[in-house]
């Protein structure tokens, strides 16, 4: 899994809910926070993101003590077309969830 697309999402103003992006090998963790100043965990946005992504055909997992992290780990044999499709769905689902919160 490529980390750079998630770093790019985190840098956008429209996605200020992304507190941190971490990776170890193919596993990527995207942490969601209520705001960057308090860094308070935001489990609600993760729950909404998971539900929205599932409706679009992408299964995501939450993790972390506060359930505010989405963990992604695609098989090492995944075709890049499927990686790109998953990233597109992730971004579309997040865009919708963030839009509904404003």
pLDDT in tens, the chain (102 residues): 555 788 888 887 678 899 999 988 889 999 999 988 889 999 999 999 999 999 999 999 999 999 999 999 999 999 999 999 999 999 999 999 999 887
- Distance in angstroms (rounded) separating the CA atoms of residues 70 and 32: 8
Contacts of residue 19, Cβ cutoff 8 Å, sequence gap at least 6: 10, 31, 32, 33, 36, 39
Residue 3's pLDDT is 54
Domain assignment of residue 56, given as a range: 4-101
The domain tally of the chain equals 1
Q: Assign residue 97 the CATH number of its domain.
A: 3.90.1150.10
Q: What is the pLDDT of residue 46?
A: 98
User: In degrees, to the nearest 5, what angle opens at C-alpha 6 toward C-alphas 26 and 36?
Assistant: 125
User: The whole model's pTM is what?
Assistant: 0.89
């Amino acid at each position: 899994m490529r980390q750079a697309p998630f770093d790019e999402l985190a840098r956008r103003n429209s996605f200020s809910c992304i507190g941190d992006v971490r990776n170890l090998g193919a596993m990527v963790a995207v942490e969601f926070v209520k705001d960057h100043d308090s860094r308070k965990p935001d489990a609600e946005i993760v729950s909404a993101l998971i539900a929205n992504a599932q409706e679009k055909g992408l299964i995501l997992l939450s993790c972390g003590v506060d359930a505010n992290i989405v963990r992604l780990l695609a098989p090492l044999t995944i075709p890049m077309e499927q990686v790109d499709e998953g990233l597109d769905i992730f971004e579309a689902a997040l865009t919708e969830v963030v839009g509904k919160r404003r």
